[in-house]
Structure 1
Amino acid sequence: MIIENIMSRDVQTVRPDQSLREAAQTMRTLNIGSLPVRDHDRLVGMLTDRDIVVRGVAEGGVEGRTVSEVMSPAVKYCYASDDVQDIARNMASLEVRRLPVVDADKRLVGIVSLANMVHSEPAAAAVMSQGVATPH
């Protein structure tokens, strides 16, 4: 099975120029801990609640600061055509709960989470529970 078959297509994103306060409020409203950062149709980073605390609050606060100032620009992602079990192994080795999903042109098309895998692919769920990693 491929990621495209199980990913969530309705992905909330933030822009690099949005305020940190607005991004944090979005996270609170949606009860999530991370948001992909999108510049038009390109994935340019990830913003996590930890980024907001460590790079925002701990370094002078969030007032007047933007997402681009604290986001992680190095983004781990997968392709919509990738195999679910392979991505489950990668997520286990990276110790991440969510990965943005991009198409062949690296445009954001969705997000895949552990929950997607557990509910859709028993073999992938088994891989995740074992924490098996493959060399890259």
Structure 2
Amino acid sequence: MRVSEAMTRDVHVANPRETIREAAQAMASLDVGALPVGDNDRLVGMITDRDIATRGVARGWAPTPGSPTS
């Protein structure tokens, strides 16, 4: 199998000015674990679900039971 057979061509590119919540919502709706981040048609990085989880927890942003999700 080649990479081209497993990849998607319908790519959502996150903007560096998006919030973490917006990136996470995009990942959830697309059922993906990573998004490329682009600025003015230039790839500037990647954000992953692991980035969001580990950095969020490290900063004390972990969701708590009963907390709002919107």
TM-score by length of 1: 0.39
Post-superposition CA distance 1:52-100 (Å, at most 9, x none): 01112321328xxxxxxxxxxxxxxxxxxxxxxxxxxxxxxxxxxxxxx
* Structural mapping, 1:96-111, within 5 Å: none
| SS of equivalent residue, structure 2 residue 45 | strand
TM-aligned CA deviation for residue 18 of structure 1? 0.2
Q: Distance in 2 between matches of 1:8 and 1:25?
A: 18
Query: In the alignment, residue 17 of structure 1 is paired with which amino acid?
Result: R
Can you give the 5+ residue segments of structure 2 that lack an aligned partner in the other structure? 63-70
Runs of 4+ in 1 over 3 A off after TM superposition: none
Other-structure match for 1:29: 29
Q: CA deviation at 1:23?
A: 0.5
Which runs of 5 or more residues in structure 1 are unaligned?
A: 63-136
Number of residue equivalences: 58
**Offset at residue 31 of structure 1 (A):** 0.8
Taking the aligned partners of 1:51 and 1:20, their CA distance within structure 2 comes to 10
Residues of 1 paired with 2:35 and 2:57: CA distance? Answer: 18
Indicate the residue corresponding to 2:14 in structure 1.
14
**Amino acid of the residue matched to residue 47 of structure 2?**
L
- Percentage identity across aligned positions? 57
Task: For 2:14 and 2:32, locate their aligned partners in 1 and report how far apart those are by CA, in whole Å.
Answer: 13
Q: What is the distance in 1 between the residues matched to 2:39 and 2:52?
A: 19
